[in-house]
Amino acid sequence: MSAAPLRFLASAPRGLADLLARELSSCGASEPRERAGGVAFHGSLESAYRACLWSRVANRVFLEVAQFEAGDADEFLAQVRRIDWTAHLAAGATLACDFSGRHPAITHTHFGALKLKDGIVDALRAARGARPDVAPDRPDVRVHAHAHNASVTLAIDLSGDSLHRRGYRAQGGEAPLKENVAAGVLLRAGWAELAAADAEFLDPLCGSGTFCIEAALIAGDRAPGLTRSYFGFLGWQGHDPALWERLKTEAVARASAARRPLCVRGSDHDAAAIRAAQENARRAGLEGQVHFAAGALAAAAPATEHGGLLCTNPPYGVRLEDRERARAVHRELGVVLRERFQGWDVAVLTGAPELGRELGLRAHRTHVIWNGGLECRLLRLRVDSASTRVPGTLGHGLARHRDSPGAQMFANRIAKNLKRLRSWSQREGISCYRLYDADMPEYAFAVDTYTVIEPQQQWLCVQEYAAPAEIEAEAVRRRRAEVLASLPEATGVAPERVRVRTTRRRTRRGEQYQKADEQGQFHVVMEAGLKFYVNFEDYLDTGLFLDHRLTRARLRAAARGARFLNLFGYTGTATVYAAAGGAAATTTVDLSRTYLEWAQRNLALNGLAGASHAFVQADCRAWLEQAAHAAARYELVFLDPPTFSNSKRMEGVLDIERDHAQLIDACVRLLAPGGLLLFSTNAQRFRLDEALQARCAIRDISAATLPQDFARNPRVHRCYEVRGS
């Protein structure tokens, strides 16, 4: 191969790109540049091999082989055919293809991957007279195409499979922590430096032992890729076996040279989890170097006097019955830390950040890290008297912020908004509305007020938008404290009825909601004479999208005698409105049983339950395909998809900016003559497909469906009427 530097891209879990860039530099990479989801770099084949062998946080390493412009699928296919694939696939080698990104004409990743495969097969058939076999699992060569508009990059996936799969984990438990995420947490927490100083490591809630095993690999200078038997470059035509063997031999020598007694321990109350952890450690080659024992959290204690790092991923209550137990575990962990681990560093990774307050310790740093599709918070603490606060409170020392100039300024704005919106809400009979939405850019919060009934109480839901990277962490903490200190006095809402939610990111995708699993802490609110269950504790959203108030009213007005279809039905609020408007029948479709049950409860709460209301648990896209062949037609359809979803229960990935035209076309086919489709999206930079506008009668009603309390943010949603023929 050419001696000129090669172009690579390494991907990583969101929140760890800076750590990956540092690793790649140590592997010999040059010009590492952080990008969304990874790091681009130049280097030799050796630097890429080192990244595959040594990177603790990377997902994949790609070698760029071509870059071109392709305006449509035919041009894409022609460009793929022009490449000399014999330089990459040996005769008889197996092939797999992937496609990602956003292309103006190739709107489905499966279609893009198919076209990529067809182009490679055609080129190899023309060159050799034989086509390669396709092997989705562990192919000899995996080729990846990524589109950015009409620009396409083709790359060989040198990793072949995600590098987080080290090869040691036989069992991962119910919600496994990815190995590279665990390693990233440890590196963020400074474990490499602590281990070099012979510090102790403990995970008192170790589950299947991922933190402990990764901690031992770091402390022992063991390459995480040594336990893997498969890489994507092993069957690649450009593979250099001698180079790879040299690097593996070097890695084995480094591990041997660094071998020393380690004090890495894990404990868990679940004996089955401990057995799985021991087996995983054995498979990782760490038998006797990592120590696991069954034991209660309350019994956790240091083993030495050297101090160390306690790192853990406590349960956060995926199911209804687990939530209170998770809260209790966080409180118990806080007690153990304060009583026995003074002077220790602590790293707590949680999928429910609000539970972090139960620790009774103030984090000096907080990081956003993604474990697969789950947004988590890494709380870094130093256990000492200065970090202690009252467990479960909004924060320690908030009172001292109440009289600050910033708090007074925020309180004045809240008072001004209350004065204006209260008269409007009373006149319109609205009891749940948005009180504040980043009116002042330096206080990037959304504050919603809910009046619940039985007993009648006012609650506040506070959501914090993620601050830009250039804002100092201390400024973010100070502003948060000022907001939380001033809200109870400014609104008259007791602090115990103020709920601070998971930090919400402002994104171009504008995620509509994130689904959690069942919980049970529900309250009842009123809207337009109808009752709805809301939940302030356990979801990113409460179950009632306040910005859709006027949209729901339109559905109610149009529903008389109609057969109504609610797609991506969530908690069924639109179904309740349609039923209350006199719909002859309703069908609500959603992938989540939790939300369908919530929807049924909302109907029953209003005395509207009955056989005429159907609830279907299904992927809406798959359901639409099946419904197209059935006889059922609907006079009224509401289509309100999440902006982006990669649920494991769903086929493929849903990206509404890319997929909305196909969804709308499928819905129009189900409309009865003269029927009406209302399509709504919360994508912040949504643009309606031009070809769709040419073939459908579409009217933009976004402005007409924007409630007064959301007028400060006209991009909160886009809404369209689509008429059937």
Assign residue 677 the CATH number of its domain: 3.40.50.150
Rounded distance between C-alpha atoms, residue 563 and residue 584, angstroms? 6
Position 274, amino acid: I
The predicted structure's pLDDT at residue 293: 96
Within a domain: 90: yes
Confidence at 496, pLDDT banded by 50, 70, 90:
confident
Ordered DSSP codes for 93-111? --EEEEEEEE-SS---HHH
The predicted structure's pLDDT at residue 557: 97
For strands 151-157 and 141-148, give the pairing. Answer: antiparallel
pLDDT at 617 over 50: yes
Domain count, the chain: 4
**471 Ramachandran zone, left/alpha/beta (phi>0; psi -120 to 50):** beta
Confidence at 393, pLDDT banded by 50, 70, 90:
very low
- The pLDDT tens digits for 188-217 are 999 999 999 999 999 999 999 999 999 999
Within a domain: 406: yes
Q: Provide mean pLDDT across the span 315-334.
A: 74
CA dihedral over 565, 570, 572, 573, signed as positive or negative: negative
Using a cut of 0.75, tell me whether the model's pTM lies above it. Answer: no
Rounded distance between C-alpha atoms, residue 546 and residue 527, angstroms? 10
Range of the domain at 144: 6-157
The predicted structure's pLDDT at residue 515: 40
- Are 290 and 350 members of one domain? yes
**Prior bond of 455 cis (ω within 30°):** yes
The predicted structure's pLDDT at residue 358: 85
Whether the CB-CB separation of 245 and 313 falls below 8 Å is answered with: no
Within a domain: 171: no
pLDDT at 336 over 80: yes
- Are 193 and 95 members of one domain? no
- The pLDDT tens digits for 227-237 are 899 999 999 99
- Are 15 and 97 members of one domain? yes
More confident residue, 377 or 86: 86
As to burial, measured by CB atoms within 10 angstroms (0-12 exposed, 13-18 middle, 19+ buried), residue 372 is: middle
Assign residue 95 the CATH number of its domain: 3.30.2130.30
Within a domain: 657: yes
**Exposure on the CB side of residue 145, measured as CA atoms within 13 A:** 33
What percentage of the chain reaches a pLDDT higher than 90?
66
- Are 669 and 609 members of one domain? yes
- The pLDDT tens digits for 684-705 are 788 888 888 888 889 999 999 9
Assign residue 470 the CATH number of its domain: 3.30.750.80
Cα end-to-end distance, the chain, whole Å: 60
Within a domain: 246: no
Q: Could you tell me the two tokens for 368?
A: 């956003």
Torsion of CA 553, 696, 698, 694, to 10 degrees: 160
- Are 449 and 589 members of one domain? no
Position 63, amino acid: L
- The pLDDT tens digits for 142-197 are 999 999 999 999 999 999 999 999 999 875 445 579 999 999 999 999 999 999 99
pLDDT at 321 over 70: no
Last residue of a domain, one of 122, 157, 192: 157
Q: Provide mean pLDDT across the span 636-657.
A: 77
pLDDT at 42 over 60: yes
Within a domain: 323: yes
pLDDT at 318 over 60: no
Rounded distance between C-alpha atoms, residue 584 and residue 592, angstroms? 25
User: The tokens 């972090």 sit on which residue?
Assistant: 356
Helix (H, G, I), strand (E, B) or coil at 445: strand
Within a domain: 665: yes
- The pLDDT tens digits for 563-611 are 999 999 999 999 999 999 999 999 999 999 999 999 999 999 999 999 9
The predicted structure's pLDDT at residue 510: 33
pLDDT, averaged across the chain: 89
Among residues 458, 461, 407, the alpha carbon closest in space to that of 434 is found at 461
- Are 572 and 713 members of one domain? yes
Tell me, rounded to whole angstroms, the distance of Cα 674 from its chain centroid: 40
- Are 340 and 269 members of one domain? yes
Position 112, amino acid: G
Confidence at 466, pLDDT banded by 50, 70, 90:
confident
The predicted structure's pLDDT at residue 84: 96
The predicted structure's pLDDT at residue 139: 96
Q: Could you tell me the two tokens for 61?
A: 């390493």
pLDDT at 635 over 80: yes
The predicted structure's pLDDT at residue 517: 37
H helices present in 42-173, as ranges:
45-54, 73-81, 109-128
pLDDT at 392 over 70: no
- The pLDDT tens digits for 648-683 are 555 567 888 888 999 999 999 999 999 999 999 988
Among 181-195, 244-258, 354-368, the range scoring the smallest mean pLDDT is 354-368
Position 260, amino acid: R
Rounded distance between C-alpha atoms, residue 447 and residue 462, angstroms? 5
Last residue of a domain, one of 387, 411, 446: 387
Within a domain: 162: no
Residues 6+ apart with CB under 8 A from 56: 23, 180, 183, 184, 187, 214, 217, 218, 224
Rounded distance between C-alpha atoms, residue 63 and residue 45, angstroms? 9
- Are 185 and 321 members of one domain? yes
- For helices 73-81 and 109-128, the axis angle rounded to 10 degrees is 30
- Are 103 and 65 members of one domain? yes
Last residue of a domain, one of 454, 485, 504: 504
Among residues 314, 458, 488, 520, the alpha carbon closest in space to that of 393 is found at 488
Among 10-24, 72-86, 473-487, 668-682, the range scoring the smallest mean pLDDT is 473-487
H helices present in 390-524, as ranges:
405-428, 473-491
Confidence at 295, pLDDT banded by 50, 70, 90:
very high
- Are 551 and 402 members of one domain? no
- Are 365 and 495 members of one domain? no
Residues 6+ apart with CB under 8 A from 374: 351
- Are 209 and 146 members of one domain? no
